[in-house]
Chains A and B, each alone.
Chain A
Amino acid sequence: MYLDMHSHSVSSDDSRATVEQYLKWIGVLRKRGHVVDGIVLTEHRKFDFDKDYSALASQYGVVVLKGSELDTRYGHVLVYGVTEPLTREIDFSNVAMDTRELLKAARQHDAYAVPAHPGRFGIGLTEYIQQGETFDDVRIVERLNGGSRKGENERAWELCDNMGYLGVGGSDAHLTSHIGTCLTKFPTDISTEAELVEALLSEQFQPVWLKDATNGTTGE
C-alpha cells in the first residue's frame, strides 16, 4: 500500500487544509490513476489524542493515521505510533530537545522516530552530521519530502547512501493539493499506528513520487 507519511491539517498552526479536503483530493488523484491508500497526519509539536478521523476515513475509503512532527535541536523529527507514556516523557513543544533522546524514548514507548527532510538546508540532519554530530539510533530518515527545495531531496538521498539509512516519503502537505506528492510503498496493509510502527521495524518499504504510484491505467 501507499501511505503519505507526512502531512499537516488545520490542527497545525501553519496549515489551512482540513482532513476532509485532503481526502477529497485523494479522490481526485485516484481518478487520475494514482494509488494513494492513506495519510499520516503529523501535526507540528503536538499529538492530537482527542481527534478521531475514523468516520471521515470510512466515508472516503482512505486510511487516516495520526503522528507528530517535532522540532528538535538537530532538525525536525516525525514520530509514528505516539503513545501517552511518550508524551509524558517528552515535552512535544520543546524545540531544543535532543534528537537522540527523542529517538530512544520513542522506541522505549512503542513509537518510532524518523528525522524529517534531512537534506533541508540550515536545519536538516545532514547539516549536523557534517558538523560532527552522531546519531547512532537513526535507521530511517525521510528520503523524499514534497516540501523540499531544489537540491534538498538530493542531499537526503546522498545521506542515505553514505550512512546506510533507509528512507520513507511524505508530502509535507500544508495545502490540499499537495497531499500525496511523495509516498511510502509498503508490501503489507496498514490500518493502525501500531501496524505502521511494525511496518517500519520490518524495514520493507521504499519512498516513491506520486507519478510512480499508479495503478497502470490512466496515470499522468
Chain B
Amino acid sequence: MATELDYDRSLHDKEHEAGPFEVTESQIQAFSRGIAETNPIYTDPAAAKAQGFRAIVAPPTFCTIMVRQVSLSDINLKFNGAPMGGGMHAGQRVQSRAPIMAGDALTASSHLKDVYAKTGRSGTMVFIVWETTFRNQDGTVVADVQESFVRRG
C-alpha cells in the first residue's frame, strides 16, 4: 500500500505575490517592545541614524508579523483519499538577508515548498511548508520566511 498524499501540486510552481506592506516606525517600535528588544537602533531614530541607517531598523524576526498578512492558498490536501481536517501552525524559520527599515515598502512572494507525511506516537501527520521571500522597494531581498503547518489524519 503506497501512501496517497494528494494535493494541488501545481502550487509548487506558482509564486503568490502580496503587498506592498508599509513598514512604519511605530510597527517596529511595537514589535521591539513585544520581544523585549532594547538595542536603540530598533527603537530610537537618532541612534539608528548615528549607526548609519536612514531610519530605525526592524529586528531580524520582524517579517514573522508581515507574513501573517500573506494569504496562502488551500492545497486541497487528502491523505489516503480522505480530506485532512483542521491544522495548526507548526513553526517558522526566518533568514534575515538585509536590513528592513521604517519607510520601506515590502512585497512578498510565496510558494509551496514541501508537503510530507510523518508518523509518531499520536498517529500520522502531514506537514505543509510555505516559503515567502520579502523584497523592499528597491527589489532587494530582505528576508526569507519558512512557515510550517501540520494537519492530522
Contact = CB atoms under 8 A, between A and B. Distances in A.
A and B together in one complex: yes
Given A91-B2, A95-B3, A123 B118 contact: no
A192 interface: no
B119 A95 contact: yes
A95 B118 contact: yes
Interface in A57-78: 71, 73, 76
Interface string B117-132: 1111111100100000
A44 B118 contact: yes
Given A13-B127, A45-B116, A94 B121 contact: no
Contacts, number: 37
Contact of B121 (A45, A71, A97, A123): A123
B118 A71 contact: yes
Interface string A42-63: 0011000000000000000000
B9 to A, nearest CB: 14
A6 interface: no
Contact of B2 (A76, A94, A121): A94
Nearest to B124: A95
Interface in B96-117: 116-117
B1 interface: yes
B115 to A, nearest CB: 10
Nearest to B122: A122
B123 to A, nearest CB: 8
Contacts of B124: 95
A122 B123 CA distance: 8
A76 B119 contact: yes
A91 B127 CA distance: 18
Q: What are the nearest 3 A-B pairs in CB distance?
A: A96-B3, A122-B121, A71-B119
Interface of A: 13, 44-45, 71, 73, 76, 91, 93-98, 120-123
Interface of B: 1-3, 80, 116-124, 127
